[in-house]
Amino acid sequence: MRRTRFDDAECPIARVTDLFGEWWTPLVLRDAMYGITKFEDFQHELGVSRAILTARLSRLVDEGYMDKVPYQDRPVRHEYVLTDKGRAMWDVLAVMWRFGEEHLWEDGEQPLVELAFRDTKERVRPVVVDEATGRPVDLAAIRIRSRTRTRR
């Protein structure tokens, strides 16, 4: 019995979960965001099994999150670089970061690392708002509806 797939669900959250719910995948993407590109570097950084890393990178390439580009011949060596689609995942990781630092440390404790803007050196605190209005995306103020109009 194969693990249930969610990649053709009607719910966007479920489709993302199909990728993101694979063990190690969010951390591979995270390290890619930090600038890691080589197989060995991912492997050392994460401590993941080489077999799993191969499978995860292959899927990320197949689904357009990363490109596998040769950077030398003899022997052929590749690096894994994020595509625009891959880089768009940063939003998800940033919000996970915020949730984690707010809720997953003991009271009075904080993670040893934080996000900061390069230019102003101010700490970054990611929040989610509506693009057009800037309103917070509060669960109580939102509903899910079926998209019947604007077929476009």
Tell me how many residues contact its own copies (CB under 8 A). Answer: 78
Binding residue (CB under 8 A) for its own copies from 2, 26, 42, 59: 26
Binding residue (CB under 7 A) for DNA from 15, 30, 59, 78: 78
Which phi and psi angles does 99 have, rounded to 5°? -60, -45
Chain-centroid distance, C-alpha 99: 14
CB 129 within 8 Å of CB 137:
yes
User: What is the distance between the alpha carbons of residues 28 and 65, in angstroms, rounded to a whole number?
Assistant: 11
Instruction: Name residues contacting DNA, limited to 10-39 (CB under 7 A).
Output: 22-24, 38-39
Which phi and psi angles does 79 have, rounded to 5°? -125, 155
Site string for its own copies, 122-151 (x = CB under 8 A): x-xxxxxxxxxxxx-xxx-xxxxxxx----
**Distance of closest approach, residue 77 Cβ to DNA, in angstroms:** 4
User: What is the distance between the alpha carbons of residues 119 and 21, in angstroms, rounded to a whole number?
Assistant: 34
Is 4 a residue that touches DNA (CB under 7 A)?
yes
Q: Which residues lie near DNA (CB under 7 A)?
A: 1-4, 22-24, 38-41, 47-52, 54-55, 57, 68, 74-75, 77-79
